[in-house]
Amino acid sequence: MLLEWRTVYLPFCLIFRPSQGTPLDLSFPNIISIKVNGFSQSDLPPADLKQPAWKPYLYRGRQRMLFSVHETVHAAMYDRDEIPDSISISGQINCRADLEGLPDVSFPLKDHIEVLSFHPCAQVPEKGIDKQAVMFSPPLGNFVLMRYEAVCGLGPPIKGFYQLSMVSEDKGDFLFKLRLMDGYKSPLTMEFCTVTMPFPMRRVVSFDGTPSVGIVSTTDHSVEWKIVMGGRGLTKSIEATFPGKVQFAPWKPKKLPPSSSAFGSIADEDSDIETDGNNNSMVNIDEFLMEKMSKDLQPADLEEPFCWHAYNYAKVSFKIVGASLSGISIDPKSVSIYPAVKAPVEFSTQVTSGDYILWNTLGRCPSAAATKV
């Protein structure tokens, strides 16, 4: 019985449960397949081929190739003359190659992108060439072939402005004026789009307002505007406006401690400031005071208690399918497999929002000065 167990499961244990080293393949479907089917002589590559470390055993079954591009859009929209809007795209090409043997796969990249990293199975193209091509010997299961950054050639999928002003201590007026999918055409489809106004330091009591499109809901600390909902994909440009008022629970500012509590103890700690005869090692008094004040002082009672710094924005969430925003694409007909096999090639794309922020044009906002080259 012990001999039978060793014969059947020892290869599995050696690869996936090593006492030392790193497992070569942690894909759950692959592990189950090995456990059920075991190993055979057909799992070994021909003698003239070297089996790569990322492919511990050979695939057997229906052959096919799947490519998917997943891009994430990050944006900071200011709607201000002195601060330019910022938008960037980070993406990755996911791949699954159910191919028998140890084939090589290649395809061209038509659009110029800034590649950040490749999977170890890929041969990196030379920089500076007009037409990039990728060649790789695919591993088993799903893997990320490459990661990249790119510019949004079509422009921002959502643009416009957001304004918020406190008319009293517990009441604010807001206005959204947005344009969705401006300049976008089929096959690009926006599956959903939601705008959220977060109020983490205030409790929402009520709101009043009707958007030109979509529905609105509230939580204790946010107002959510669903412009495009699931099942109603948007394929053309639309304009969406939403004026309204929001009412908060009474503001309870934190009282400042007496001034003596913030500064009175500084004199008691003067003994910590040591000097030598030449005063070369004296502690910087200004830095000491700033550190002390920052540690002891309570937050000030602000004019606009919730509309401040990190809370002075609206966040956009969306999903777009049909094509990438960077322009990167893989033509299934241009994918070459060697040795040649009949394997269907499928390609899909998905674009989702990352930190897509609409800063209040009437409030404060963080920004970084662009470096002039």
- Residue pair 222/197 in contact by the 8 Å Cβ criterion: yes
Please name the helix (run of DSSP H) or strand (run of DSSP E) that holds residue 2, with its range, or none: helix 2-16
What does DSSP assign to residue 270? G
pLDDT at 154: 84
| Nearest-angstrom CA–CA distance, 126 and 122 | 12
- Residue pair 326/152 in contact by the 8 Å Cβ criterion: yes
pLDDT at 124: 72
pLDDT at 244: 94
| Nearest-angstrom CA–CA distance, 303 and 288 | 29
What is the dotted CATH code of the domain comprising 158-251+302-314?
2.60.40.1170
| Nearest-angstrom CA–CA distance, 215 and 232 | 13
For residue 16, the number of C-alpha atoms closer than 13 Å in the C-beta half-sphere is: 19
| Nearest-angstrom CA–CA distance, 293 and 164 | 31
pLDDT at 9: 47
User: Is residue 344 packed enough to be buried (19+ CB in 10 Å), middle (13-18) or exposed (0-12)?
Assistant: exposed
Which residue's entry shows tokens 């994909």?
233
- Residue pair 247/171 in contact by the 8 Å Cβ criterion: yes
pLDDT at 267: 41
pLDDT in tens for each of the 373 residues of the chain?
Answer: 444 544 444 444 444 455 545 555 556 666 666 566 555 555 555 555 566 666 766 778 889 999 999 999 999 999 988 888 999 999 999 999 999 888 899 998 766 677 778 898 888 766 655 557 889 989 888 999 999 998 888 889 999 999 999 888 888 999 999 999 998 988 999 999 999 999 888 899 999 999 999 999 999 999 999 999 877 789 999 999 999 999 999 877 655 455 444 444 434 444 444 444 444 444 465 565 556 545 544 444 444 455 554 457 999 999 999 999 998 889 999 999 998 888 999 999 999 999 999 999 988 777 666 555 4
pLDDT at 81: 87
- Among residues 213, 160, 149, 211, which one has the least CA distance to residue 182? 160
pLDDT at 272: 44
Q: Where are the domains of the chain?
A: 64-154+325-357, 158-251+302-314
Domain 64-154+325-357, classified CATH 3.20.20.70, yes or no: no
List the strands of the sheet with 142-150, edge to edge. Answer: 114-118, 142-150, 86-98, 64-77, 345-359, 313-321, 189-198, 222-228, 215-219
pLDDT at 100: 87
- Among residues 189, 320, 365, 167, which one has the least CA distance to residue 248? 167
Q: Which amino acid is at 282?
A: M
Residues present in the chain in total: 373
Q: Is-same-fold flag (64-154+325-357; 158-251+302-314)?
A: yes
Whole-prediction pTM? 0.71
